[in-house]
Amino acid sequence: MRKLSKYVIDETINVSERILINTVNGSILMIPAESDMSEPFIIDALDGNDFFIDDQDAINIFQENYKIILKNTQNKYDLVLINSYDCNLNCPYCYQKKINNEISAEFNIENIISFIERNKESIERIILFGGEILIDKNRSFISRVLKYINNEIDVKLVTNGINLGNFAEILKQNKNLEISVTLDGFQDNHDLTRGHFYTIIDNIDLCLNLELKVHLRINIFRSNTEDVTRVSNLITQHKWAENGLFNYEFTVISEDYSVFSELDLIKMYSESMIIKDKFSIYKDAFNKIKHFFEDEDLYHGFESCRMNRNLLVLNGSGNAFNCYENTADKSKVIGTLDLSDMSIIANESKKLWEQRNVLTIKECSDCAYAIFCRGGCAAKAQKANGTIYSPDCNRFKEIFKIALVDYLKGVS
């Protein structure tokens, strides 16, 4: 019997139906779950839609599509500015805990304004980051940057939310500003690691009243899974979800996905599409499936996030990074700021990160799910496996199947 291409996703979606998805050309075939794959009519259907495509031919098609995507991608990036690594908290899981003093200087504000001015056409968004950005030592920096931008560039401010009230007068002048706040679950669990829970809740209300966009990320650990419901109820009580300026997501924090992952949360809340839609990996998988099935343009994803080529992190020492999780490690620097012409002098690391995609990761290049998963987080892959050219799967195949079944139920 002829063998299906390894780039065909083959899932039994219920007791009576099985779906075959040709990820190379977008062909989809629904057949009875117990089908005999040697039946002539099934062979003809598979053959006519290239389900037996040669592996190398498939790779060639992927490579050509990737080239087209790169050619059509705007050369714009998010500029992340770290004025200081200082923080008013001491979260136990923070990836900046071992900050190197050699990279912890503050910006010369005129230099950074000059850099923005010189590169304005290439900057899609500016992200103010830390440490904790909303502390007094950063006040003049924030004020100067926002005044210079003057609503001409979108701005995101990543904060723990404690001092939002103290900075309201500065922030409210910028209607293109999004505030990103993190909770570690509901009050009892959040206050174990971060504290000030109800201060942050009041500050979210304040921001929304000032007509500022708010993105709330809720960290879920193995120890606080019940907080998905508790925080969801809080959001309902405050009527935040009814406000078009507000959005939120639940993010799993885990050192070992075989012990605890988003998949565990999805199973716990399997009956609630409203809650599942706020789980980051599930939502991403569901949206990619929807795109694949419904859009005329065939969906092929090759890179996991903007860090490959569309994210530039600068700190006050002039070090450049392309990933938040690397910003405390000088060995992860991808370049330095050249003050003479306000450009970035890149090193070899930058090229290595830019070349990471599902075609250059061996495990991904053999995987039918790769164009949906896109290889996962490079920083986490490097931490787990010692190289960015390895996958961060995070039980994606299982999450994909759940999202696929949910999508098909919705359109049936």
Per-residue model confidence as pLDDT tens digits over 7-27: 999 999 999 999 999 999 999
Structural domains in the chain? 1-53 (no CATH), 87-103+110-298 (3.20.20.70)
Confidence of residue 3 (pLDDT cuts 50, 70, 90): confident
pTM: 0.92
The answer for residues whose C-beta is within 8 angstroms of residue 366's C-beta and 6 or more apart is: 6
Q: What is the pLDDT of residues 215-235, one digit of tens each?
A: 999 999 999 999 999 999 999
3-state secondary structure string, 306-336? HHHCCEEEEECCCEEECCHHHCCCHHHCCEE
Q: Convert 366-382 to b/e letters by CB count within 10 Å (16 or more is b).
A: ebbbbbbbbbbbbbbbb
Averaged pLDDT of the chain? 92
The model's confidence at residue 297, banded by pLDDT at 50, 70 and 90, is confident
pLDDT bucket at 1, cuts 50 / 70 / 90: low
Do 325 and 341 form a contact (C-beta atoms < 8 A)? Answer: no
- pLDDT, tens digit (0-9, with 9 covering 90-100), for 389-410: 999 999 999 999 999 999 999 8
pLDDT in the model for residue 395:
96
